[in-house]
Structure 1
Amino acid sequence: MEGRGGGGEEIAFFDVETTVPGRGSGRGHSLLEFGAILVCPRRLVEVGSYSTLIRPTDLSAISAFSIRCNGITAETVASKPFFREVADEVFSILHGRAWAGHNIARFDCLRIREAFAEIGRAPPEPKGIIDTLPLLTQRFGRRAGDMKMASLASYFGLGQQKHRSLDDVRMNLEVLKYCATVLFLEASLPDVLSINSLNENTIARNQRDATAPCEGTTPMLNSPSNLFCKTIPDVNDRAGSIIPVPEKDCSDLISHIEQIRIDPLQQDAAVLGNSATKPPEMVCTTIPTSEGCSGFAGFQEPEEISTQYISAPIVPFSKWGHKILVLHRDCPLQLCCMGLRVQFGPTKKFMDHAGRPKLNIVVDAPENLSEVLGVCDRLAQISSQISGSRSEWRPLIMKNSYSNSSSIRLHIPVMANGDAAIYSTELYQKEPSRNMQKLVFSNYDDVKLDSLFVPGATLDAYFCVETYDYQLHAGIRLVAKRLVLHSK
């Protein structure tokens, strides 16, 4: 790859093709192809490229279904290098650069890390990640349907997706340019491209000549800039009602890309450089009882909530999107619940953009809390349906099959702190004397959290009720703002 060199300012757009493991096979994904282009972030032009087919350790992992997905057969890769033979090249392209691609956060990034782990090497670390699937879903709406690469390419008339790494990467870049252009035009010419303006022009023209056809009207109304414009029904109940807000200018997607500031609907997924260079530390600060969490402003206990005043209005997020709020008496719902018992400590099943486990703990949900959250869940789901979301709704409250109890998941977000990552949740430890110590982490340390949030531990939780709609999954997320662990 000409012009390459680890840690450059170029954006590394990349894509991998893999085997597709069958259900119950016990196999993971094996890399079959890696392709990348380096792109100048200021001009969005290609300055270098690289691609290679990769022979998996076990050729029999290439199933018929895998071949149907990308056309790569065992014969195609039988004489190609193993990953360990091209690992240096892949590392030099990716390490220290911003990564970009379609759905890379949940697939391609993980496959790269797995491939390096299999050969016993540390994986490359990104300077930042641009996942164009959540980014375009958020900024461009769902006017291209499911927002998959094939759907976006068809929408813009770019041909069929080939499901080969380098071809898909270049198509990804073209799709991004098209979307950015449309958003730029819509922001620059709102009156010309709005549905109301088009309708007014059509009516005026028809009034001038009732017998003359309005040439060009239909294509304009079906143009990409207007397919997503629709009226969300306003209903009289608590779910789906629309809160009018002043229109805001659309964010400039091109500027957004140049500055590498990506937040795909998940604020906890901040991407850092190599945060492993600083060892995790934790210190304790004793605070007086008078500053304890029982007075944490704005948080109400379940008994203080009147479910009849809970609502889930749809609020315009920008000219082309919306979000759902969960309110109590027209204020964002924030809850506190004392003496919750931990059922499961931080899970490591799901990863964020930087390859760190997303931190969630499962706690029991007493009846009064379950009642409040159950109302929130139902109303928000109704609003999601009214808004036209195609995402699958995930229930907030989990019913335990082995008992007649319920549980919920509390999310502990992680945020960037210079070159390190820290928890944005305030963590305290409450002594039997009722004095509390604030636990201050100078770096991300999920191992330490494992030792704190052990099953059976008791805690007081202060959390916000927020909705999400991300990659065809929607629901309510309980974001922990403050957690107080009771010392035994």
Structure 2
Amino acid sequence: MSSSSGEERSEIAFFDVETTVPTQPGQRRALLEFGAILVCPRKLVELDSYSTFVRPADLSLISTMSPRSNGITPDAVVSAPPFLQISDRVYDLLHGRIWAGHNILGFDCARIREAFAEIGKPAPEPKDTIDSYTLLKRTFGRRAGDMKMATLATYFGLGQQTHRSLDDVRMNLEVLKYCAAVLLLESSLCVTAEEVEPNTAQRNPFDMGQLSDEMEESYETSSTESSEMYSVESSEMSFAVAVSDGRSDLGGFLEPDEVLTSSISASFVTFSKKIQLFHETILRLRCSHLKVWFGISTNFLDHAGRPRLNFVVNAPQSLCKVLDACDVIARNLSSDSGSSSEWWPVVHSIYRIWR
């Protein structure tokens, strides 16, 4: 077994096992497949992966009717290595790392320990564990039903769960990313219902009917271009949140209507090579009432062709006007300085589409 220092073991090991399912009382489970990915905790990207079928000592334990084994037959594993042969690799992947997976505390961790006990070797021990089933039940609520992996995958439009180890751990990672993004947006954008609208204290932000009604009302006078955008997006976005910031500590922040665009200027911040915008002092904007739609959209896909989490801001015309002016001023400053860098507009086209 290879050894590594604690510092080198900073990756999170997402893993999953597939097993036989007992068909009679007292029958043990046998490992049929092991899959794991090592994930960078800072960027949540996959660094390494390993998966293999495992040949149980008794092939008769396999039931092709088992929903958990997903049709893994004796023929599929007859040429696979026994667990003893892969145990060093499994140990090296797991030992001393943070273990992560969906319901691993209730199932997978125990199966790993049983497999090592069966061959008479010490089992790997985790630095810590992240059980996404337990975690999401506590933080994500009941919005995704029973919180099983298949249900979460369907909720986010990630496709069907295959019940194959490597596919499942990769899906687990994607589900966590989506859930984290939703929770982050909620914590950033949601305020108390009384601050938003006094009559909506009991509203369910995930009610698609309410979303449709709000979008219809908000954009009944939209242009043809906007209407086409609405007809595509309204059936795919999850919910809308009206944001009103009631804090009293926003001195120096201007509402868009308070900004005189002719008074906006820009200069380079020498040490950081960034552009700073001014309106007498540093330009800081606040917008008391924004509507933000965010959710899964099949119009925008990741590198694997899966729908991505997106959000759309219904920016008022006054805000768009200020942002457009800032865009022009910053672009001109960059051009006048002789910069050859590609310009990324301050104002994304989505503002113009939804204006």
TM-score range, shorter chain: 0.5 to 0.7
- Report the CA distance between 1:146 and its aligned residue: 0.7
Separation (CA, whole Å) in 2 of partners of 1:191 and 1:222: 23
Contact 1:18 1:31 in 2 (8 A): yes
Cα distance in 1 for partners of 2:218, 2:11 equals 54
Structure 2: distance between partners of 1:37 and 1:4: 18
In the alignment, what sits opposite 1:146? 146
The 1-side partners of 2:10 and 2:68 are apart by 37
Deviation at 1:122, TM superposition (A): 1.2
Any idea what the Cα deviations from partners look like across 1:95-144, whole Å, max 9, x if unmatched? 00000000000100000000001011111000000000010111111111
2:20 is equivalent to residue 19 of structure 1: yes
More helix by share: 2
Q: Aligned residue for 1:83?
A: 83
The structural deviation recorded for 1:191 is 5.3
Count, aligned residues: 224
Aligned to 2:34, the other structure's residue is in SS state: strand
Alignment of 1:247-286 (within 5 A): none
- Quote the offset at 1:69 in angstroms: 3.9
Separation in structure 2 between the aligned mates of residue 202 and residue 153 of structure 1, nearest angstrom: 27
TM-score normalised to structure 2 length: 0.55
CA–CA separation in structure 2 for the residues paired with 1:56 and 1:22? 16
Identity %: 57
Supply the AA of the counterpart residue of 2:189: L
Aligned equivalent of 1:9: 10
Kindly provide the amino acid, as one letter, of the partner of residue 145 in structure 2: G
Relative to 1, partners in 2 of residues 1:140 and 1:116: Cα closer, same or farther, differing over 3 Å? same
TM-superposed CA distance for 1:189, in Å, is 1.5
Counterpart amino acid of residue 141 in structure 2: G
Give yes or no for contact 1:6–1:97 (8 Å, CA) kept in 2: no
Instruction: Specify the alignment match of 2:97 in structure 1.
Output: 97
- Residue 29 of structure 2 aligns to a residue whose secondary structure is coil
Residues 70 and 6 (structure 1), Cα distance of their counterparts in 2 relative to 1, 3 Å cut: farther
C-alpha distance in 2, partners of 1:143/1:105? Answer: 22
Deviations for 1:161-218, whole angstroms, at most 9, x for unmatched residues?
11100000000000000111111111111159979498799679749979x9x97599
Question: Does the aligned pair in 2 maintain the 1:35–1:50 contact within 8 Å?
Answer: yes
| Structure 1 residue 65 displacement after superposition | 2.1
Quickly say closer, same or farther: Cα 1:86–1:5, change in 2 above 3 A.
farther
CA contact (8 A) 2:19 2:68 kept: no
Letter aligned with residue 55 of structure 2: R
SS in 2 for 1:173: helix
Describe the superposition over 1:224-251 as per-residue Cα deviations: whole angstroms up to 9, x where unpaired: 4579xxxxxxxxxxxxxxxxxxxxxxxx
Q: Is 2:65 the partner of 1:65? A: yes
Q: Does 2:170 correspond to 1:184?
A: no
Output the CA distance in 2 between the equivalents of 1:29 and 1:117. Answer: 13
Aligned to 1:167: 167
Q: What SS does the aligned partner of 1:66 have? A: coil
Structure 1 pair 225–30 and aligned structure 2 pair: CA distance change class (3 A): farther
What is the letter of the counterpart of residue 129 of structure 2?
I
CA contact (8 A) 1:143 1:224 kept: no
Q: Is the 8 A contact 1:116 1:123 kept in 2?
A: yes
The answer (yes or no) to whether the contact 1:19–1:61 under 8 Å persists in 2 is: yes
C-alpha deviations, 1:367-414, integer Å up to 9, x for none? xxxxxxxxxxxxxxxxxxxxxxxxxxxxxxxxxxxxxxxxxxxxxxxx
SS in 1 for 2:66: helix
- The amino acid that maps onto 1:21 is P
Do the aligned residues in 2 keep the contact of 1:94 with 1:124 (CA within 8 Å)?
A: yes
Shift of the alpha carbon at 1:70?
A: 1.6
Instruction: Compute the RMSD of aligned alpha carbons.
Output: 3.7
After superposition, the Cα gap between the structure-2 partners of 1:5 and 1:152, relative to the gap in structure 1 and judged at 3 Å, is farther
Cα distance, 1:79–1:115 mapped onto 2, change above 3 Å: same
The 1:86/1:185 distance shift into structure 2, 3 A limit, reads: same
> How much has 1:64 moved relative to structure 2?
2.7
Q: In structure 1, how many angstroms separate the alpha carbons of the residues matched to 2:211 and 2:144?
A: 26
Stretches of structure 2 that go unaligned for 5 or more consecutive residues are: 242-355
Would the alpha carbon gap of residues 169 and 76 (structure 1) be closer, same or farther in structure 2, given more than 3 Å must change? same
Establish whether residue 74 from structure 1 lines up as the match of residue 70 from structure 2. no
Counterparts of 1:361-440 in structure 2 under 5 Å? none
Relative distance call for 1:153 and 1:6 in structure 2 (3 A) is farther
Question: Contact conserved, 1:6 with 1:95, CA < 8 A, in 2?
Answer: no
CA distance in 2, matches of 1:31, 1:172: 20
Relative to total residues, which structure has the larger strand share, 1 or 2? 1
Q: CA deviation at 1:66?
A: 2.5
Q: After superposition, where does 1:48-63 map in structure 2 within 5 Å?
A: 48-63=48-63
Distance 2:217 2:14 in 1: 49
Tell me, in whole angstroms, the C-alpha distance in 2 between the residues paired with 1:224 and 1:200.
8
Residues 5 and 62 of structure 1, relative CA distance in 2, 3 Å threshold: farther
Q: Which residue of structure 1 lines up, in the alignment, with residue 121 of structure 2? A: 121
Q: Taking structure 1 as reference, are residues 35 and 6 closer, same or farther at Cα in structure 2, changes over 3 Å only?
A: farther
Query: Does 1 or 2 have the higher relative contact order (CA < 8 Å, sep 6+)?
Result: 1
Deviations 1:148-171 (A, max 9, x none): 111111111111111100000000
**In structure 2, C-alpha distance between the alignment counterparts of 1:106 and 1:28, rounded to whole Å:** 16
Kindly provide the amino acid, as one letter, of the partner of residue 52 in structure 2. Answer: T
One-letter identity of the residue aligned with 1:70:
N
State the 1:71 CA deviation: 2.0
Q: Check the 8 A contact 2:98/2:126 in 1, yes or no.
A: yes
Q: SS at 1:71's partner residue?
A: coil
The correspondence of residues 22-61 of structure 1 with structure 2, limited to 5 A, is 22-24=23-25, 26-61=26-61
